[in-house]
């Protein structure tokens, strides 16, 4: 933890370490709750024949992975490297909200089409 090394006294270092640990625990608890909800939703959807829900599940999984990485970085006192991960989580969350807002099937399929279109453009195939 680079920042803690810059502090002059042990009390301030302990305070920073405890604060970082508490925030990391909170974020980990949020990740655990999100995983539980994700698991319940996946089990419920397995009984249907629709495949468009996979879009939302992939976005949720992406958000979970990013938040899990944030908890690790925060536990070590690394706040700046969290910024791209938090932005990516926010973008995934906004995508989920947009897809679930209305016309879910069409929006989820449109997301897949756009994703594959970008991949084709990037690979040149």
The model's pTM: 0.82
How far is the C-alpha of 13 from the C-alpha of 56, rounded, in Å?
41
Average pLDDT over every residue of 2-19: 80
With cut-offs at 50, 70 and 90, classify the pLDDT of residue 49: confident
How far is the C-alpha of 67 from the C-alpha of 30, rounded, in Å?
9
With cut-offs at 50, 70 and 90, classify the pLDDT of residue 44: confident
Contact assessment for residue 16 and residue 7, using Cβ atoms and an 8 Å cutoff: yes
Average pLDDT over every residue of 69-84: 94
pLDDT of 85 > 70? The answer is yes
Q: Which residue has the tokens 């970082």?
A: 20
The DSSP output letter for 9 is S
Q: Which residue has the tokens 């992975």?
A: 65
More confident residue, 119 or 50: 119
């Amino acid at each position: 933890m680079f920042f803690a090394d810059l502090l002059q006294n042990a009390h301030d270092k302990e305070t920073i370490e405890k604060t970082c640990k508490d925030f990391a625990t909170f974020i980990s608890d949020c990740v655990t709750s999100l995983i539980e909800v994700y698991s319940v939703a996946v089990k419920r959807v397995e009984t249907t024949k629709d495949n468009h829900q996979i879009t939302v599940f992939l976005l949720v999984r992406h958000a979970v992975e990013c938040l899990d990485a944030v908890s690790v970085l925060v536990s070590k006192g690394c706040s700046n490297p969290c910024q791209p991960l938090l932005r990516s989580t926010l973008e995934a969350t906004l995508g989920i909200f947009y897809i679930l807002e209305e016309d879910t099937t069409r929006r989820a399929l449109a997301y897949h089409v756009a994703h594959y279109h970008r991949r084709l453009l990037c690979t040149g195939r």
